[in-house]
């Protein structure tokens, strides 16, 4: 198994956090989306009932995952689709490449799919001589900039319109300095229209696959998935195995939750259903991908993370994500849910992510399928300690704190030393390049007396 690089979230976040203007703007943009979500949730009286129902459906689905996947394969095959199974990202990429080579394909158009990002499909296909065009506007912007998405729903949320104008001027030939959103969007539309017409195979993700019918659903706001698979004769749909739901009637529950939680809309502009190839001359391939999901399913404390419907609501509300940006996580799925999922993939490489959390619980409050995210992040911290992956500096400081808090006399003495030190120590003794904690923090003014003294004087009888 390939060893992943160690991700140190504070280091990765440093450049983004140091750009005060970008951090402030990013924070406000995401909080605006979160506020829209709150209004939509408040407009549905049965909102909490829907969340509970969705959680129950997902719990049932994950408990009987093998049965529902087999049922889906059987029904999808009966509709004329070809179902493939991939144990990991490498197998998924090889399956897709084989299909493309069987059809002598040189150009594909692809709608937004976090699974293909997770599998590194774009780079794999490009290395094999195939042109890949992401047709979601945000994903096309980050693709032109040779970046990765920073958000699973809003992949270019970290980029300002002026920077989009610079990118389009360089790659699409738009006017230099142009930043008008309508002008830039029209330029992207013209650029992508040619790519759609030249695409030989369409690749999409899947939002929900229904075991009962063998069909699946893709939700977009731009219609790019529909156009991308309507012109070519071959459609490849790539889905993680957790995207399955048991029955057609369950779909309405998730459709009502998804867009409201993601972008504060009642429903996405396009909710497209696919049931087999569109005609006898066309092909539909569905690639079911595990890539660690079965491993996650076997861990009871983190299993509920498989309930995720990839709405991004936990990112929009997370104070750490909003202020540090998605690239600081160095993961396909950033934010709170990514901080749960990534250590499952490699706990050593992603050991810093469960600490990129204030444990405020806001992510849990907004999750449409009631994943207890902040509890899972706390559980991951315990897991990392058990695996001896906590840095020595933190282990020794925690042991010191444990001794301090268990000894009242020592605690009182330490408080006295702290108050005196804060009053008399030169500023440079605490704020220097060796103490990274104080880079963006000031210490409080020392109180004149301790709480213990105040209590004895004012409350103790």
CB 344 within 8 A of CB 296: yes
CB 357 within 8 A of CB 338: no
CB 204 within 8 A of CB 113: yes
CB 387 within 8 A of CB 357: no
Q: What is the mean pLDDT of residues 425-453?
A: 83
Maximal CA-CA distance, the chain: 89
Tokens, residue 237: 């749909």
Q: What is the mean pLDDT of residues 265-286?
A: 96
pLDDT tens digits for 157-171?
A: 999 999 999 999 999
* pTM score, whole prediction: 0.89
What would the DSSP string read from start to end of 425-456?
S-HHHHSSTT-GGGTT--PPPPPSS-HHHHHH
Q: Is the pLDDT of residue 436 over 80?
A: no
**pLDDT score at 439:** 76
The domains located in the chain, with CATH, are 1-43+313-389 (no CATH), 65-291 (3.40.50.10420), 392-459 (no CATH)
Q: What share of the chain is helix, strand, coil (3-state, %, to 5)?
A: 55, 10, 35
pLDDT tens digits for 114-158?
A: 999 999 999 999 999 999 999 999 999 999 999 999 999 999 999
């Amino acid at each position: 198994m390939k060893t992943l690089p160690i991700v140190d979230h504070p280091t990765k976040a440093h450049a983004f956090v140091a750009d005060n203007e970008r951090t402030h703007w990013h924070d406000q943009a995401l909080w605006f989306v979160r506020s829209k979500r709150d209004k939509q949730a408040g407009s549905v009286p049965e909102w909490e009932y829907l969340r509970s129902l969705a959680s129950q459906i997902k719990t049932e689905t994950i408990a009987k995952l093998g049965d529902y996947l087999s049922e889906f394969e059987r029904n999808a095959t009966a509709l004329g689709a070809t179902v493939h199974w991939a144990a990991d990202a490498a197998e998924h990429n090889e399956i897709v490449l084989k299909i493309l080579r069987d059809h002598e394909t040189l150009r594909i158009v692809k709608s937004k799919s976090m699974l293909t990002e997770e599998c590194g499909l774009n780079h794999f296909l490009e290395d094999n001589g195939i042109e890949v065009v992401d047709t979601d506007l945000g994903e096309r912007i980050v693709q032109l900039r040779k970046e990765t998405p920073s958000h699973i729903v809003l992949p270019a949320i970290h980029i300002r319109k002026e920077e989009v104008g610079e990118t389009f001027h360089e790659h699409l030939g738009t006017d230099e300095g142009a930043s008008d959103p309508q002008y830039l969007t029209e330029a992207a539309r013209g650029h992508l229209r040619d790519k759609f017409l030249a695409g030989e195979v369409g690749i999409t993700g899947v939002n929900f696959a229904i075991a009962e019918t063998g069909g699946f659903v893709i939700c977009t706001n731009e219609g790019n998935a529909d156009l991308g698979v309507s012109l070519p004769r071959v459609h490849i749909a790539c889905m993680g195995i957790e995207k399955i739901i048991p029955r057609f009637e369950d779909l309405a529950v998730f459709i009502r939750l998804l867009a409201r939680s993601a972008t504060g809309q009642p429903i996405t502009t396009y909710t497209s259903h696919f049931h087999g190839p569109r005609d006898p001359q066309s092909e539909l391939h569905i690639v079911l991908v595990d890539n660690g999901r079965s491993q996650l399913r076997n861990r009871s404390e983190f299993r509920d993370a498989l309930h995720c419907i990839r709405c991004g609501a936990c990112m929009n509300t997370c104070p750490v994500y909003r202020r540090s940006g998605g690239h600081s996580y160095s993961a396909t799925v950033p934010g709170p849910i990514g901080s749960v999922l990534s250590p499952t993939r490699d706990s050593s490489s992603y050991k810093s992510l469960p600490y990129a959390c204030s444990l405020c619980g806001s992510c849990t409050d907004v999750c449409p399928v009631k994943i207890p995210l902040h509890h899972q992040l706390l559980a991951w911290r315990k897991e990392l300690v058990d695996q001896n992956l906590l840095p020595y500096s933190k282990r020794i400081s925690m042991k010191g704190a444990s001794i301090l808090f268990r000894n009242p006399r020592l605690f009182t003495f330490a408080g006295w030393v702290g108050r005196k030190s804060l009053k008399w120590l030169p500023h440079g003794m605490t704020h220097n390049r060796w103490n990274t904690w104080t880079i963006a923090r000031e210490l409080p003014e020392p109180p004149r007396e301790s709480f213990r003294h105040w209590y004895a004087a004012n409350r103790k009888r």
